[in-house]
Amino acid sequence: MPPARLSTKLDYQSLLDKHDTWMFDCDGVLWNGDRLVDGAVKVLEILRSHNKSVLFVTNNATKSRPSYKKKFDKLGVEAHVDEIFGSAYAAAVYVSSVMKLPKDKKVYVVGMEGLEQELASEGISYIGGTDPADATLASFSLSSFTRDPAVAAVLCGLDTAINYTKLSKAFQYLQDPATTFLVTNDDSTYPAEGGLLPGAGAISAPLKTASGREPLSIGKPAKTMLDCIKAKHNFDPKRTIMVGDRLNTDILFGQNGGLSTLLVLTGITHIEDIEGPNASTIVPEYVTNSIGDLRILA
Ligand SMILES: O=C(O)[C@H](O)[C@H](O)COP(=O)(O)O
Ligand SMILES: [Mg+2]
C-alpha cells in the first residue's frame, strides 16, 4: 500500500489526534548540519502545546546527550536531556547493560567525543577515539603497536577524523574472533548542510572488509535504541509516531517497534524512492515534504 501523502489540515489534525508520543529523528528532519529545517521550532512548540510527548532519536554518534542538549539550545530548539537518545548512548548502554563488559576490560573506539563521553558515563574503559597519538596521517607500522590485552570489543561510529592508524589498530583487535565487533549505526551517508557526506556505515566499511566480519549495529533500525527509550519513557506504540528521513533506519525502526511512521523529504529520501518503478520495499505509513508542514496546526 502506498504511503498516505498528507496535504489538508484535516490530515495533519488527524495525525495529531492519533499520536501522543512523537519521536523525531534529527539529521535530515530537524536540521541538516547546523541549519534548522524551516518550521521545526514552531512545530515542536505546537506539539508540546497539545501536551504531546516529544523525543529525539538520532543515529548520529558524534555527540553525547549533554552535547546534543547544547546543540538544541544553540539552535533554539526546546529539548531536555532525557528526551534525547543518540546511538552513542545506546551503544554505551548496550556495552554496560547487555554485554556487561567486565570492569577490567576495555573498548577500542573508532569515533568521536560523543562516544567517549557516553562510554565514560556508563563506567566503561576505552582507548582510541580522540587520542591525540592516533590523530596522524603517517603510515602505520605494526612495529610500533602493542596490543592492549584488556580490549574485548571494538566500537565504531561516525568519525570525521578517520585515518589509517585508527583503522589499522581496530583491525588488529578484530582479528581475534573473541573481540566483539560493534557499530553505533550503519547509515551510509550523512545529510549535512548543502549535501551528503560519508556516514557511519562508510567509516566501518573498511573494518568489515579487512576483517571479513559483520558487526552488531546498535542504532536504528535495531530494537536496542527502542529498549533504551522504553527504559526511560512510558509510551503506547500504537499512539506513537516515528518521524524520519531515512527508510532503512527511521521508518524500519518505527515499523519494527510497532509505531506509526511519517517520512519527510528534507534529508536522505526523495519522492522517487517511495513512488514509481524504483520505489523501496520499505513503505512509510505517511509522507510529507517537511515537518514544517505541520505548522498548519498552529
Ligand atoms: O552517518 C551517520 O551517523 C548518520 O548519517 C547520521 O548521523 C544520522 O543521524 P540521524 O538522521 O539518525 O539523526
Ligand atoms: Mg536522519
Secondary structure in 3-state letters for 103-143: CCCEEEEECCHHHHHHHHHCCCEEEECCCHHHCCCCCCCHH
Domain contains 82: no
**Total domains, the chain:** 2
Q: 146 and 201 share a domain? A: yes
Q: 49 and 298 in contact (C-beta within 8 Å)? A: no
77 in any annotated domain? no
Residues near ion ligand 2 (CB < 5 Å) are 25, 27-28, 245, 267
Which atom of ligand 1 is least distant from the CA of 60?
Answer: 7
99 shares its domain with 152: yes
Residues 210 and 121 in one domain: yes
What digits encode the pLDDT tens for the residues 233-286? 999 999 999 999 999 999 999 999 999 999 999 999 999 999 989 999 999 999
CA dist., res. 190 & res. 200, Å (int): 8
Q: Which of 157, 185, 217 is the last residue of a domain?
A: 217
- The answer to whether residues 65 and 113 touch, using CB atoms and an 8 Å cutoff, is no
CA distances to 42, 85, 193, 204, 218 from 187, in Å: 28, 16, 17, 10, 11
Whether 25 is catalytic: yes
Both 112 and 129 in one domain: the answer is yes
Answer yes or no: is 286 within a domain: yes
- pLDDT confidence band for 97 (50 / 70 / 90): very high
Mean pLDDT of the chain: 97
ipTM for the predicted complex: 0.97
287 shares a domain with 240: yes
CATH code for the domain in which residue 282 is found: 3.40.50.1000
Domain boundary residue, one of 217, 232, 252: 217
93/211 same-domain check: yes
Q: Which pLDDT does position 139 carry in this prediction?
A: 93
Torsion of CA 49, 52, 53, 56, to 10 degrees: -80
Looking at 217, 233, 266, the residue that finishes a domain is 217
Instruction: Tell me: is residue 38 an annotated ligand-binding position.
Output: no
Out of 11, 17, 20, 25, pick the active-site residue.
25
- The rounded distance, in Å, linking the Cα atoms of 269 and 189 is 11
CA dist list (Å): 42 to 68, 70, 292, 298:
19, 19, 8, 8
Asked whether residue 258 falls in the same domain as residue 273, the answer is yes
**Do 241 and 209 sit in the same domain of this protein?**
no
pLDDT tens readout for residues 27-82: 999 999 999 999 999 999 999 999 999 999 999 999 999 999 999 999 999 999 99
Q: For 268-278, write each residue's pLDDT tens digit.
A: 999 999 998 99
Predicted local confidence at residue 2, as pLDDT: 87
Decide if 268 is inside a domain.
yes
pLDDT digits (tens, 9 = 90+) for 154-210: 999 999 999 999 999 999 999 999 999 999 999 999 999 999 999 999 999 999 999
Same domain flag for 107 and 186: yes
- Average pLDDT of span 121-133: 98
Q: Which domain holds residue 27?
A: 4-59+222-297
* Residue ranges lining ligand 1, Cβ < 6 Å: 25-28, 58-60, 158, 185, 187, 190, 199-200
- Measured in Å, residue 179 CA sits from the centre of ligand 2 at 30
Residue 287 lies in a domain: yes
Q: Are residues 100 and 178 in the same domain?
A: yes
